[in-house]
Amino acid sequence: MRIPMMAGNWKMNCDNPAAVELAKGIVEGSANALGCEVIVCPPFTALSAVNDVTKDSPVSLGGQNFFWKADGAFTGEIAADMLLCCGCEYVIIGHSERRGRFGATDEDFAEELQSVFGDNDATVSIKLKAAVDAGLKPIACCGELLSEREKGMTDAIVSDQVRAMLDGCSEEQLHSVTIAYEPVWAIGTGEVCEADEANRVCGLIRAVVAEVAGQETADNMRILYGGSVKPDNVEGLMAQAEIDGGLVGGASLKADSFCTLIEVAGRAKRA
């Protein structure tokens, strides 16, 4: 049985005092929630401070990104060991924003500026294997733009991204991998993919994993949905058979809303 997961991606929010306060609220608010694994992913600057709050609790810590080299002349990058020494157990890989793919148009990020984020299918693949080999558990992201969905390309885009991220992985490496489906057009926009459609695409992802790594690996792998998950839509999403939890942005920045998601996920999957 797959244990549901709620992972909070705090993105570029929270200085250290705010991060500590939020972490305390999540630890306290989720103390009685059963049957759901909880991860928080603060900015790099707040990892150690948040770890002081979460280290003796069931809440796990994750990084939002990392670089696949162990050390070297890579200004501004973060290595796996740096995350581990801050208490991280998880790391998000290939989030659409790290790929320069945004759900809402941002005038600051014209096409020629999007390369600052850098990730693509090739880097996601090498990061996934490097994370596992270093002892981190990757939450690897995939998803389509609105323009791609409107052209009927969703299945092809998502399948290709999943095949690319898993390319060259051994069955053993895949035991610690979680995949998150995040339709890019639903991230930070207030739009949400209908639960039935989110379930269908998560099922497609599982089918691709089965094709690449076998049915047993696919059956055991957690697949999350990410994209404007909120207390008012989480029940419908968590009722779906192929959705094992959420990769949550805005709703993870308020302890009460995030704890509601945790409680609903645990209850839905116990039913």
Q: Which residues are the active-site residues? A: 95, 182
Counted residue by residue, the chain has a size of 271
Q: Are strands 178-181 and 245-248 parallel, antiparallel or unpaired?
A: unpaired
CB-based contacts of 131, cutoff 8 Å, min separation 6: 66, 68, 80, 91, 93, 137, 138
Query: Which tokens is 78 given?
Result: 């973060």
Query: Which tokens is 93 given?
Result: 């890989």
Closest Cα to residue 230, out of 267, 186, 199?
186
The position carrying tokens 């076998």 is 214
End-to-end CA distance of the chain: 12
